[in-house]
């Protein structure tokens, strides 16, 4: 701190705590002590309060002791002449500010005033099946801003934050010098895949207004989350940071120092204060510094350059007009560069030679029908993609061929058949890597702004927006993207890449046939592999940057819980990077065949979990189940009354028969904790013959989120047939049938579900 900043922050803290006090008294009087308080779709109660104090606040009067604690953390402002030290005192006042802010926001929810309103605001939706679909019940509808980030999103981003696709988050507070600057700052951050959190205002005008006026899409899908128009909404990014530590770090509520250190060391975040900084902003910034998040201002404020509480400088001032640059846009670019430098964020950027911006932040962009220039695949045409390995001499590196007509003649918003055929060669390339590399095409193409990619293989569906087409984006750019990214990301195994874009009908049909043969071959090949047929499994420690005691073991019949890494993926990853997160591990001596317990797997688990987990079984949920980081696609949990298990999908926000939603369950399943009866898994593990085979297998499933039943209908039907009970799927309840155990038992009795007749689970 400097004395100036300390004075302003402590003053701000004292005022906001007073405000929280008044608001709490009023609410207690009007709503009563037992009035429930909660943030919607989030776990961990009021997360910052829970994280810092361990208090599980569910009722209004439980906020009273929190407020008392906030008051205890306050200090008087430093004296003018003979001052005593103020850094610790300011940080405490900052923490007090955060607690008070969360109290206020929670009470505002009680009054229906949160999330804040913004006329004409509509967040981008998210859909995995169709670009025209809207996310049901998601935030950002009805002219409301975002409020807290919901848990599904937190977990979805988790894997990206750990695997480096998303380097961190920027909390932008205030209002930029101009709309143009606001857009530029956001675009620069997006280009680097940095999550952008927006809050606060300067004299009533917020960066959120600026982006809205400029037509910038805001929402989870574009990595731009507008939390609220006031400074207090900065508590939501802080809550997000706290929940990251609880979700992925295995920390418990009240482990304040650990949670703060976790954020300092592992979450690359910073505060960008745009425009005048008032007392409350100083106070909130002091709170953020507790988390190790530095503050960069675009105005004149005192700097605090010594390090320690944060990894690099604490407070940096870059008066906007003094930044060297030919115009405001260049200054904005430099400002963002400085932010990244200050936080020490490592960013890998691949230059992709295309006429539109490129980066993971654009992966979630939706191209709606009305904005669309052309589509390939979907209802009106057929598109597929196929990557194959060929001999070195058959590939001319960088060659991109368009075989057939371009879309110039296709009418506006029309459709055409198209295929992307990628041929790669490399001394270390193996046939097994084909599907791994092919699946990357989805991420590669989605990175282009104004281009949307859905699906894979022969259900590929790609849209190009009018804006992208206007900037000159054409078919050959698909080739440019795939070539640039494969060479950059997989240069260790790929030496040469050529791409053929085929729209000529005869060739298209011919290659579709060849592609389908390859898909079948691959399906059978992985399907033929069993856990017994291999000597080595793979470890995955990718998430240890976030969940330091969790270790994933990936076998042919059990994929990683994030769904993103199966056995072959891990094998490929090991080839690509022999010292990376995926290492082969010998199973070692068999200890229990049925449960899948091996000496070698236990040993590596003990070692990689720092001794917190002693034993792991591959096929049991009841005995030493595998731990989870927090990125799981589904949670499997024992329902003792039904003698079976339920499977809850990450996309399911409804109540479950366990009496908890996914968010709450996730707290028990994640963070590297071994809890018998609870397990986080990848959804394709459900189709494996080894799915909790020690506990009775697939027939144990008595309840399953309907979204799984729908999206995996064919695969699950095949499993039911394999289990010898073709009607099994209809015997499994879902949230549309029941969310109470009693009702579940009635349903199981009525349908004659086999679990009721099976041996007791424990």
Partner 1 sequence: MAKQKITPSIDPAACYVLDVAELMGISTSFSRAANHKPCTVGSGQAGVCCKNCYMGPCRITKEGQVGICGATLETIAARNLARAIAAGAAAHSDHGRDLAFTLHAVATGEAQGYAIRDEAKLYAVAAKHGIPTKGKTVMETALDVANKAISEFGQQRGELSYISTAPPKRQKLWRDQRVAPRGIDREVVEILHRTHIGDDQDASHILLSAVRTALSDGWGGSMWATDISDILFGTPSPKVGGVNLGCLEEKQVNIIVHGHEPTLSEMIVAAVQDPDLIEYAKSKGAEGINLAGICCTANEVMMRQGIPSAGNFLTQELAILTGAVEAMVVDVQCIMQSLVGVAEHFHTEIITTSPKVKITGATHIEFDEHHAMDIAKNIVRRAIDNYANRGEMHIPTGDGMSEQMVPGFSHEYLAYMQGGNYRASFRPLNDAIASGRIRGVAANVGCNNPGFTHDQVHMDVVAELLKNDVLVVSTGCGAIAAGKYGYMKGSTALDPEKVGPGLREVCEAIGIPPVLHLGSCVDNSRILTVLSQMATEGGLGDDISDIPAVGLAPEWMSEKALAIATYCVGSGAYVIMGVRNPVDFSDAVSHIMSNEWEERFGGKLEFVIEAEEIVRHTLEHIDKKRAALKLPAYDPARFGESGDAALAAYLELPVEEQMAELYG
Q: What are the residues binding partner 1 (CB under 8 A)? A: 1-4, 6, 52, 73, 78-79, 81-92, 94-95, 177, 256-257, 260-261, 275-276, 290, 298-309, 313-315, 319-322
Q: Identify whether the C-beta of residue 298 lies closer than 8 Å to the C-beta of residue 277.
A: no
* Residue 735, Ramachandran bin (φ over 0: left; ψ between -120 and 50: alpha; else beta): alpha
Structure tokens at 77: 């402002």
In total, the chain counts a number of residues equal to 762
H or E element in which residue 522 lies: helix 505-528
Count of CB atoms situated within 10 Å of the CB of 759: 8
- Residue number with CB closer to partner 1 (87 or 195): 87
Q: How far is the CB of 298 from partner 1 (least distance, A)?
A: 7
Structure tokens at 63: 């906020």
Q: Report the DSSP pairing between strands 634-639 and 678-681.
A: antiparallel
Report how far residue 139's alpha carbon sits from residue 147's, in angstroms, rounded to the nearest whole number. 8
- Residue number with CB closer to partner 1 (313 or 695): 313
Residue of 737, 620, 600 lying closest to 679 (CA atoms)? 620
Q: How far is the CB of 249 from partner 1 (least distance, A)?
A: 16
- Residue number with CB closer to partner 1 (7 or 124): 7
Q: How far is the CB of 229 from partner 1 (least distance, A)?
A: 20
- Residue number with CB closer to partner 1 (127 or 261): 261
Report how far residue 552's alpha carbon sits from residue 562's, in angstroms, rounded to the nearest whole number. 10
- Residue number with CB closer to partner 1 (86 or 376): 86
Residue of 331, 228, 234 lying closest to 282 (CA atoms)? 234
- Residue number with CB closer to partner 1 (127 or 303): 303
Q: How far is the CB of 47 from partner 1 (least distance, A)?
A: 15
- Residue number with CB closer to partner 1 (201 or 541): 201
- Residue number with CB closer to partner 1 (89 or 480): 89
Q: How far is the CB of 177 from partner 1 (least distance, A)?
A: 6
Helix axes 505-528, 434-446, angle to 10 degrees: 120
Structure tokens at 761: 């689970």
- Alpha carbon 7 to its chain centroid, in Å, reads 38
Q: How far is the CB of 62 from partner 1 (least distance, A)?
A: 21
Q: DSSP letter at 535?
A: S
Task: State the alpha helices, DSSP H only, in 403-450.
Answer: 434-446
Residue of 590, 603, 597, 588 lying closest to 618 (CA atoms)? 597
Q: Identify whether the C-beta of residue 545 lies closer than 8 Å to the C-beta of residue 677.
A: no
Query: Order of strands across the sheet with 536-540?
Result: 552-554, 536-540, 582-586
Structure tokens at 127: 């859909």
Q: How far is the CB of 541 from partner 1 (least distance, A)?
A: 23
CA atoms within 13 A on the CB side of 185: 35
Residue of 232, 113, 234, 215 lying closest to 169 (CA atoms)? 234
Q: How far is the CB of 173 from partner 1 (least distance, A)?
A: 15
- Residue number with CB closer to partner 1 (191 or 264): 264
Q: How far is the CB of 18 from partner 1 (least distance, A)?
A: 20
Q: How far is the CB of 315 from partner 1 (least distance, A)?
A: 8
- Residue number with CB closer to partner 1 (303 or 474): 303
What residues form DSSP beta bridges with 269? Answer: 169
Q: How far is the CB of 253 from partner 1 (least distance, A)?
A: 14
Report how far residue 32's alpha carbon sits from residue 37's, in angstroms, rounded to the nearest whole number. 11
Count of CB atoms situated within 10 Å of the CB of 413: 14
DSSP string, 595-647: TTEEHHHHHHHHHHTTTS-----SS-SSSS-----S--SEEEEEEGGGTEEEE
Q: How far is the CB of 84 from partner 1 (least distance, A)?
A: 4
- Residue number with CB closer to partner 1 (319 or 405): 319
- Residue number with CB closer to partner 1 (310 or 449): 310
């Amino acid at each position: 701190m400097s004395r100036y900043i300390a004075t302003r922050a402590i003053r701000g803290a004292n005022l906001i705590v007073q405000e929280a006090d008044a608001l709490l008294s009023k609410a207690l009087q009007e709503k009563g002590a037992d009035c429930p308080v909660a943030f919607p779709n989030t776990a961990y109660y009021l997360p910052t309060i829970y994280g810092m104090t361990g208090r599980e606040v569910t009722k209004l009067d439980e906020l009273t002791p929190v407020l008392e604690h906030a008051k205890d953390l306050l200090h008087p402002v430093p004296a003018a002449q003979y001052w005593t030290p103020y850094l610790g005192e300011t940080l405490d006042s900052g923490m007090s500010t955060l607690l008070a802010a969360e109290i206020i926001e929670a009470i505002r929810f009680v009054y229906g005033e949160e999330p804040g309103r913004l006329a004409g605001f509509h967040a981008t939706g998210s859909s995995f099946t169709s670009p025209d679909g809207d996310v049901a019940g998601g935030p950002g509808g009805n002219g409301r801003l975002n409020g807290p980030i919901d848990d599904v999103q937190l977990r979805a981003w988790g894997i990206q934050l750990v695997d480096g696709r998303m380097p961190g988050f920027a909390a932008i507070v205030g209002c930029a010098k101009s709309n143009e600057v606001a857009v530029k700052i956001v675009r620069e951050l997006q280009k680097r895949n940095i999550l952008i959190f927006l809050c606060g205002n300067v004299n009533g005008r917020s960066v959120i207004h600026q982006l809205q006026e400029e037509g910038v899409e805001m929402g989870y899908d574009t990595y731009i989350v507008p939390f609220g128009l006031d400074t207090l909404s900065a508590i939501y990014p802080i809550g997000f940071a706290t929940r990251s530590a609880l979700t992925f770090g295995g920390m418990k509520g009240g482990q304040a120092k650990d949670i703060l250190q976790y954020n300092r060391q592992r979450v690359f975040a910073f505060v960008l204060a745009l425009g005048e900084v008032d007392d409350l902003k100083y106070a909130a910034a002091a709170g953020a510094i507790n988390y190790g998040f530095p503050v960069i201002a675009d105005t004149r404020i005192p700097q605090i350059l010594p390090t320690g509480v944060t990894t690099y400088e604490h407070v940096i001032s870059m008066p906007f007009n003094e930044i060297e640059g030919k115009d405001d846009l260049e200054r904005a670019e430099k400002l963002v560069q400085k932010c990244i430098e200050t936080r020490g964020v490592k960013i890998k950027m691949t230059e992709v030679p295309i006429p539109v911006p490129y980066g993971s932040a654009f992966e979630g962009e939706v191209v709606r029908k009305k904005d669309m220039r052309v589509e390939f695949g979907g209802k009106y045409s057929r598109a597929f993609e196929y990557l194959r390995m060929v001999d070195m001499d058959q590939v001319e590196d960088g060659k991109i061929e368009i075989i057939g007509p371009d879309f110039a003649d296709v009418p506006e918003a029309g459709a055409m058949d198209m295929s992307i055929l990628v041929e790669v060669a490399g001394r270390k390339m193996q046939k097994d890597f084909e599907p791994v590399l092919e699946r990357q095409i989805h991420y590669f193409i989605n990175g282009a702004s104004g281009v949307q990619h859905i699906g894979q293989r022969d259900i590929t569906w790609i849209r190009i927006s009018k804006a992208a087409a206007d900037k000159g984006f054409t078919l050959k750019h698909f080739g440019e993207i795939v070539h640039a990214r494969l060479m950059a990301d997989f240069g260790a195994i790929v030496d040469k890449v050529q791409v053929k874009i085929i729209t000529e009908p005869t060739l298209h049909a011919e290659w579709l046939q060849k592609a389908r043969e390859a898909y079948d071959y691959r399906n059978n090949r992985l399907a033929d592999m069993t856990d017994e047929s291999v000597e080595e499994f793979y470890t995955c420690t990718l998430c240890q940057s976030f969940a330091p005691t969790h270790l994933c073991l990936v076998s042919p019949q059990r994929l990683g819980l994030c769904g993103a890494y199966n056995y072959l993926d891990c094998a490929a990853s090991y080839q690509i990077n022999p010292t990376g997160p995926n290492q082969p591990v010998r199973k070692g001596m068999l200890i229990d065949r049925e449960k899948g317990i091996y000496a070698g797997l236990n040993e590596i688990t003990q070692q990689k979990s720092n001794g917190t987990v002693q034993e792991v079984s591959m096929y049991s949920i009841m005995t030493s189940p595998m731990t989870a980081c927090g990125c799981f696609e589904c949670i499997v949990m024992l329902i003792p009354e039904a003698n079976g298990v339920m499977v809850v999908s990450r996309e399911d926000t409804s109540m479950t028969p366990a009496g908890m939603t996914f968010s709450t369950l996730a707290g028990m399943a994640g963070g590297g904790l071994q809890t018998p009866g609870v397990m986080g898994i990848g959804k394709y593990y459900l189709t494996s013959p080894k799915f909790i085979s020690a506990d009775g297998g697939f027939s144990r499933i008595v309840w399953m989120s309907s979204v799984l039943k729908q999206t995996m209908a064919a695969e699950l039907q095949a499993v039911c047939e394999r289990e010898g009970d073709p009607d099994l799927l209809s015997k499994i309840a879902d949230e549309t049938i029941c969310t109470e155990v009693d009702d579940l038992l009635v349903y199981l009795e009525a349908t004659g579900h086999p679990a009721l007749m099976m041996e007791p689970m424990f």
